Structure 1
Amino acid sequence: MTREEYLLLYEKHLAGKATPLEIEKIMAYEDDFELKTLHPEEDKDRYRGIETRLLSKLDESLNMRKHAHFRFTWQWAAAAVVLIFMGAALFYIAEPDKRLTVATRKNQIKHAYTDSSKAILTLANGKTIELNTVGNATILAKGQVTIKKQQDGILQYEVPAPLVTGEVEYNTISTPRGGQYQIILPDGSKVWLNAASTLRFPVAFTGAERKVELSGEGYFEVAKNKKMPFKVAFKDEEVEVLGTHFNITAYPGVEASKTTLLEGSVAISRGRAKKLLVPGQQAQLQPDMQSFDIQDVDVEEAIAWKSGIFLFHNARITAIMQQIARWYDVDVVYKGDLQNMVFGGRISRSKSLTEVLKNLELTGTIHFKTEGRRVTVME
């Protein structure tokens, strides 16, 4: 279906004249709509007109519900989904000076994939284990510590409570480019590692704190323990929590580190600088800055990688290509002045590199040349 056919069918749907088959076609088109270009001058008024009529119809239906029994039919559920889709498109149309793309339906963030679970576990004695090559069973049982790979591939550390203390050993789990992995730490905290990331942690938490070290990117769901705060050290910063959900981005060679809070509270510090975050906030720190830059952000974008998608909102092409380089294990070079080119959109990480680059090229503003593992970006 072409974009023009979609618009005609959707206007028919708004008028209440679309057949069930036509509505199915509308929904199928939206499912396939990934990073397609919108032309602001051509489509802006028409999309706004459609959005206005849809909002009006939804508002009328909600008012009806206040005064009478209202049956929320599947047709209106479909319309609500389309409104989400239209809203994403209009977000980009409202900024015509930027290079524009739109995203798929919001619920596609749940897309699952399994072929990227790759990691290497390094034990305290230096022995390495490629986790994607071992079966789902006990990997190691030493003293009071048991390391298991569960049926779903998650690595889990088990220790008795209370633990008889002794010399604490450290393990390291590292993901390659194009890999991700999930681990359950000895205290029950869960960590998801993004591509090209490393987590160093004790095989058992003893003493007054639970401390781990991160390089790269990780999402944390920390088990609550008021008597033993959980700390994450990265670069020259540290995050301290009691029990919460947050994401840290701290790749070597990438200037700004980012800590994004989804639930609970965290204290982030660097030297004497210290800030408290509330859910929905992100702390950024450049190497040459003395204090944190705190902003309200879209947390969905910050953890999109965990759900298997690329999600960009007005992102510079250099930031986009950094993610693509880590995921597809390629080197990126630039030809020409591209620093101010800004894009937005959503696409599954299960797509091939060729598919992702072709979708970006649909904007008509950027082009790519691939030679082996080298990608050249040009206008």
Structure 2
Amino acid sequence: MPPSEFQHLVQKFTDDSITATELQQLRQWVLEDRDADMQEAAIEAILHHSHPAGHMPADKVAMFSYILEEANRRTAATSGAVVVSVKRWWAAAAAAVLLLGTGLYFLTRPKPAATVAQHSVHPILPGREGAILTLADGSRLVLDSLQNGVITRQGRADVRLQHGQLLYTHNGAAAALPAYNTMTTPRGRQFRVMLPDGTAVWLNAASSLHYPVVFPEGERSVTVTGEAYFEVAPDPRRPFTVKTDNGAVIEVLGTSFNVNAYTDETALRTTLLQGKIRVKAAAGNSILQPGEQAVITQTVTVNTHANTAQAVAWKNGIFNFQHATLEEVMRQIARWYDVEVVYEKNIPAITFGGEMGRDLELKDVLEFLQGSGVHFKLSGRKLIVMP
């Protein structure tokens, strides 16, 4: 890419006028270029051109910090050297606008904060891609450790791993008894699967998806625990159904929606981005339109002005803490960083807001959260919350 074209894309990136195609060009340029000096120049340009680090929108922070991490990994793999320490450079940017309690803070540079007490020599890193696939015969495959390519055959489907996604394709074998697989993401892991009908599913940490390797005629049904985002392939002849552990059922024809069904949350939440879904539960039934969220407890309540960006922030590499209590924030952190959260005394009544990148070390996240007046102590993988 000529330097002039690169500068043009940088300018469009920072003034929010870049198109999806141009964003992909910029991403590919950074990922594929092997010149360490040029990569570092790109990083400097993005950080300091137009947008100071702390003023960069959070969605761009998450996207470009991912790009930089990929560039580092590729450079380290080929030369054994790392171009730049990304996490520290982006610590301020990832908390560009952070609401703490009732105060609004614009963090334009790393803000002095009380150091998190830590009794561990190893930093606690953020989660990453990874999952465990349980096959029809009960055997398990750890997807983190496998290479791209066909990893197993399940009945009439070949199962292929391709760049962090699991794909199911018909292999032409004769019809057999229905076979089911289960994808499970431990704490600190997330993964994506493309189901045999073309439906894409993203699984958040500490979640699972149970599904047939080939959908039978006339129906498409899966079961989810934890949290998942679905982009359902349209098929009017075969409605798509999502079942949850608490008995709630979501029926769709072709749509995009998020299901938060963690058992430690106060309610099951289904948020619709596109299309139309019907939510059926013992407490009642509701039909959702785009932008609405069903909240299922003892009753079914529909929020007609849901924060859809918050519902799918995890999928886009962001923590969205808007109007979140301390307990809600800590549950997200516990799942993503695989830590045990313990409260030293009563749980402080604190409400947070704003966004942070999910690619930061735990210590960096906690240092920013301490601005609310709550403090933390790390002992191994135990996170102690102190008032």
Q: Is this a same-fold pair by TM over 0.5?
A: yes
Q: Does the 8 Å contact 1:102/1:345 carry over to 2?
A: no
Matched, 1:358 2:367: yes
Give the C-alpha shift of residue 373 in structure 1: 1.2
Give the C-alpha shift of residue 209 in structure 1: 1.3
Q: Does the 8 Å contact 1:100/1:344 carry over to 2?
A: no
Q: Measure the CA separation in 1 of the matches of 2:160 and 2:56.
A: 39
Q: Measure the CA separation in 2 of the matches of 1:259 and 1:160.
A: 34
Give the C-alpha shift of residue 349 in structure 1: 1.0
Which residue matches 2:54? 30
Q: Measure the CA separation in 2 of the matches of 1:114 and 1:357.
A: 12
* Selected match of 2:186 from 163, 168, 176: 176
Q: Does the 8 Å contact 1:103/1:347 carry over to 2?
A: no
Higher relative contact order (CA 8 A, sep 6+): 2
Matched, 1:223 2:233: yes
* Selected match of 1:327 from 315, 333, 336: 336
* Selected match of 2:129 from 117, 124, 132: 117
Give the C-alpha shift of residue 307 in structure 1: 1.1
TM-score computed with the length of structure 2 as normaliser: 0.69
Q: Does the 8 Å contact 1:101/1:344 carry over to 2?
A: no
Give the C-alpha shift of residue 292 in structure 1: 3.1
Give the C-alpha shift of residue 271 in structure 1: 3.0
Q: Measure the CA separation in 2 of the matches of 1:98 and 1:194.
A: 29
CA deviation digits over 1:317-372, x for unaligned, max 9? 10000000000111112233335210112111110011100011133x11111111
| Runs of 5+ unmatched residues, structure 1 | 1-20, 35-84, 105-112
* Selected match of 1:312 from 309, 321, 331: 321
CA deviation digits over 1:215-261, x for unaligned, max 9? 00000000000010000001210000010000000012323110000
Give the C-alpha shift of residue 290 in structure 1: 3.1
Which residue matches 1:278? 289
* Selected match of 2:166 from 136, 145, 155: 155
Which residue matches 2:150? 138
Question: Which one is further off, 235-244 or 249-258?
Answer: 249-258
Query: Which runs of at least 4 in structure 1 moved beyond 4 Å after TM superposition?
Result: 23-26, 31-34, 99-104
Matched, 1:98 2:106: no
Matched, 1:369 2:369: no
Q: How many residues matched?
A: 289
Q: Measure the CA separation in 2 of the matches of 1:272 and 1:350.
A: 38
CA 1:31–1:136: 2 relative to 1, 3 Å: farther
CA deviation digits over 1:289-336, x for unaligned, max 9? 133343421111111111111111111010000000000111112233
Which residue matches 2:303? 294
CA 1:339–1:230: 2 relative to 1, 3 Å: farther
Q: Does the 8 Å contact 2:321/2:352 carry over to 1?
A: yes
CA 1:32–1:228: 2 relative to 1, 3 Å: closer
Q: Does the 8 Å contact 1:256/1:285 carry over to 2?
A: yes
Question: In percent, how many aligned pairs have the same letter?
Answer: 38
Which residue matches 1:187? 197
CA 1:192–1:378: 2 relative to 1, 3 Å: same
Give the C-alpha shift of residue 165 in structure 1: 4.5
